[in-house]
Amino acid sequence: MPQTPLFADNLPPLFLDLLGDDFEILPWDVSSHSTSLSRAEAIITYGHPRVDGALLDRMPNVRVVSNHGVGVDHIDVAAANARNIPVGNTPGCLDGATADLTFALILATARNVVIGDHFARSAEFTVYEPSLLIGKEVNGATLGIVGLGRIGKQVAKRGRAFDMKILYHNRQRDLAAEVEFDAEYRSLDGLLAESDFVALNCPLTSETTNLISTAQFATMKRSAILVNMARGGVVDTDALYEALSTGRICGAGIDVTQPEPLPRNHPLLRLQNLVITPHLGSASDRTRRRMIEMTIDNLRAGLVGLPLPNRVN
């Protein structure tokens, strides 16, 4: 059988293995002389390349766009729908892994894990000193969750295991979640003012772009820690640097940045009260395999005209 031409960026070996021999992988080449664009019948976005209406207009044979991940801020879904091209994503399977890393960043930032690791390996550590690197208590603290969706609820579940007081902010109240997690609804400013830890787990939209900026940092406790597991654009990068470098907030743990990655000389990278990971939210073995499987399920359904198992509306 002939192979289906598939436009995809930097797929890892496991992805290629699970795709099998049904597809011809075309290089992600959007230059004016590219032959991939006219030949491709489907798109997989693996590393968040931009897919917009202008690109789709150069790809007349594409029948489906399948995204590896939940967030689709790099895909113009409205433009795809206008061209009758369904867009799929992978919700649900990565909630636990992303919530795990949210708490890893909470703990690492609060308890000086990274600084402590570096010091413990250094020549300076020759005598145990009980007053060294006193951190913030996580147990019993107040956790404010911005975006109590699938991932946010998993974060709340973990927060309850640490006997934390759970606050949340959504566009709409979630009464069932309030009961399940003993969570209290707050306005954004109210949540920021009360929380010892602020966890961002919301999608990046026009409404959430730079949601946390100078005014919001001014509302937070000076002892507070911000954790961003959403998208880099949810936080104003310049305002984050100012808040951390001046002590406006105590610290931050971030898995995402704007831009991503940051330039290697960016001043944020020199701050000791910042813990940063390279977008590892869903990067666990079981989760990544399931994400690949769901991406392929959406791809195959779209190619034969069936409803996508997980379509973005």
Residue 246, Cβ neighbours under 10 Å: how many?
10
Is 264 one of the catalytic residues?
A: no
Alpha-helical regions (H) of 162-213: 175-181, 188-194
Q: Which one of 173, 180, 260, 270 is the catalytic residue?
A: 260
Q: Which one of 279, 289, 290, 311 is the catalytic residue?
A: 279
Is 279 one of the catalytic residues?
A: yes
Three-state SS at 151 = helix
CA distance 16 to 262: 29
Strand 23-26, strand 274-276: pairing: unpaired
CA distance 202 to 18: 30
Tokens of 227: 């954790």
Whether residue 5 has a cis bond before it, omega within 30° of 0: no
Orientation of helix 285-303 relative to helix 95-110, angle to 10°: 140
Is 260 one of the catalytic residues?
A: yes
* DSSP code for 84: T
Catalytic residues, which ones? 231, 260, 279
